[in-house]
């Protein structure tokens, strides 16, 4: 059916393109779209656009992609030559924006955009090369296309060493070493045995971690990628407890234990009900301190707090709960994507409070920053 230049038979192609661009789109959304089209005025292009966008797109971050796809698949004027296919604009001075990269992937999936000629590919395509990987590692998560995010996840699955441990206060015998076991030597001499030097060393145990991740709207892109780092940490280190928060606290330790990272992340997504909500860090930390801190924080546990500090709750509550958490933790590490900027200042009230109580501060905006975090924690494992 074609109405005022709009060919509604392109609806399946629109759905395919949206999925290729990273939009989560199920059959129920397509059924809703057909019902919405039946309830609107099909002779008006703006009504068709509004009906499809409301029914097919649920994340405001995907609106720009939808608008571009709608214009490409349902053009307002059909004055182009018959075999013409739209080519995405390119600028020699700046790389394509994240939305344009997702749009290119989406249109290529439905064969709407022509591919570059062989000579252009030879000159410009560097995907899979060492330089391409380096660029990917330095790129902000919020600016990545769907394919780049998938490649970044593969890098993060190897983000943490296998031997993250801590030294306890207990000793065990050692054949040779730098520390003499005077007590064992005195016991042996009191029984009349021949004097033999004995040694001992401190016992090492796996490092205990507590991850508290902000999944509010401003942190969604970063928290999704940090979950892959958390999964790698869960699989390779000792005890790990993981929590998410936006408007409420959710423990995700059990679902994060799945060996398959995709299953683990799918479990987290289905469990967390306040994804991309508001931020009430103080109230969520109060719940953690009351109900979980004594149960999950053993001696020597490190707390990794991922948040940009944009708190909507009472600042005095956040101050009190962070002070309490800092006393219980061996180290309180603040992971903030905004620290990527050398000129960043914690001017927001919540960020200023976290700044006062954090033992360490680390950016968490790209692959390199999370790999650096892994090296930092491994280097301080015995501290």
pLDDT tens figures, 74-109: 776 544 444 444 443 333 333 444 455 555 555 555
User: Any idea which fold 207-379 has?
Assistant: Rossmann fold (3.40.50)
Task: With CA atoms as reference, report the closest residue to 213 among 258, 257, 251.
Answer: 251
How far is Cα 10 from Cα 107, in angstroms, rounded to an integer? 13
For 43, the token pair is: 């002779």
Q: Where in the chain is the domain with CATH 3.40.50.410?
A: 207-379
Cβ(244)–Cβ(223) below 8 Å: yes
Task: Answer yes or no: pTM beyond 0.85.
Answer: no
Task: With CA atoms as reference, report the closest residue to 148 among 139, 157, 159.
Answer: 139
Find the DSSP H helices in 139-236: 146-156, 182-190, 220-236
Beta bridge partners of 303: 210, 332
Q: What is the pLDDT of residue 321?
A: 96
Q: What is the pLDDT of residue 246?
A: 92
Rounded to the nearest 5 percent, the helix, strand and coil shares of the chain are 50, 15, 35
Looking at the predicted structure, is the pLDDT value of residue 248 above 70? yes
Q: What is the pLDDT of residue 300?
A: 66
Strand, helix or coil for residue 175: coil
Q: What is the pLDDT of residue 106?
A: 58
Looking at the predicted structure, is the pLDDT value of residue 243 above 70? yes
Mean pLDDT of 66-76: 80
Cβ(262)–Cβ(249) below 8 Å: no
Task: With CA atoms as reference, report the closest residue to 3 among 43, 36, 46, 52.
Answer: 43
- Residues 6+ away with beta carbon under 8 Å from 381: 163, 164, 165, 166, 207
Q: What is the pLDDT of residue 237?
A: 57
């Amino acid at each position: 059916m074609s109405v005022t230049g709009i060919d509604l038979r392109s609806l399946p192609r629109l759905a395919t393109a949206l999925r290729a661009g990273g939009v989560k789109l199920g059959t129920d959304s397509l059924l809703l779209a057909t019902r919405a089209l039946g309830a609107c005025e099909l002779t008006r292009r703006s009504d068709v656009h509004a009906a499809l966008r409301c029914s097919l797109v649920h994340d405001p971050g995907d609106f720009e992609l939808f608008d571009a796809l709608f214009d490409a698949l349902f053009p307002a004027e059909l004055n182009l030559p018959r075999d013409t296919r739209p080519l995405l604009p390119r600028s020699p001075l700046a790389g394509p924006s994240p939305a344009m990269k997702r749009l290119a992937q989406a249109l290529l999936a439905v064969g709407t955009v022509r591919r570059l000629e062989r000579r252009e590919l030879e000159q410009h395509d560097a995907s899979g090369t060492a330089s391409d990987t380096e660029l990917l590692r330095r790129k902000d998560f919020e600016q990545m296309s769907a394919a780049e995010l998938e490649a970044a996840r593969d890098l993060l699955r190897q983000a943490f060493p296998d031997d993250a441990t801590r030294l306890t206060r207990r000793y065990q015998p050692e054949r040779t070493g730098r520390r003499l076991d005077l007590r064992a030597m005195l016991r042996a001499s009191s029984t009349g045995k021949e004097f033999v030097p004995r040694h001992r060393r401190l016992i090492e145990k796996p490092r205990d971690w507590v991850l508290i991740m902000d999944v509010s709207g401003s942190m969604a892109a970063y928290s999704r990628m940090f979950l892959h780092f958390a999964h790698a940490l869960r699989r390779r280190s000792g005890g790990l407890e993981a929590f998410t928060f936006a408007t409420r606290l959710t423990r995700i330790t059990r679902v994060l234990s799945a060996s398959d990272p995709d299953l683990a992340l799918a479990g987290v997504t289905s469990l967390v009900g306040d994804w991309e909500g508001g931020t009430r860090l103080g109230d969520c930390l109060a719940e953690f301190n009351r109900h979980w801190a004594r149960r999950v924080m053993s001696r020597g546990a490190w707390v990794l707090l991922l948040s940009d500090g944009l708190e909507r709750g009472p600042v005095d509550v956040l101050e009190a709960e962070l002070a309490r958490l800092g006393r219980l933790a061996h180290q309180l590490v603040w992971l903030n994507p905004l620290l990527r900027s050398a000129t960043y200042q914690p001017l927001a009230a919540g960020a200023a409070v976290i700044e006062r109580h954090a033992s360490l501060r680390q950016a968490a905006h790209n692959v390199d920053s999370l790999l650096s975090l892994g090296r930092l924690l491994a280097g301080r494992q015995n501290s």
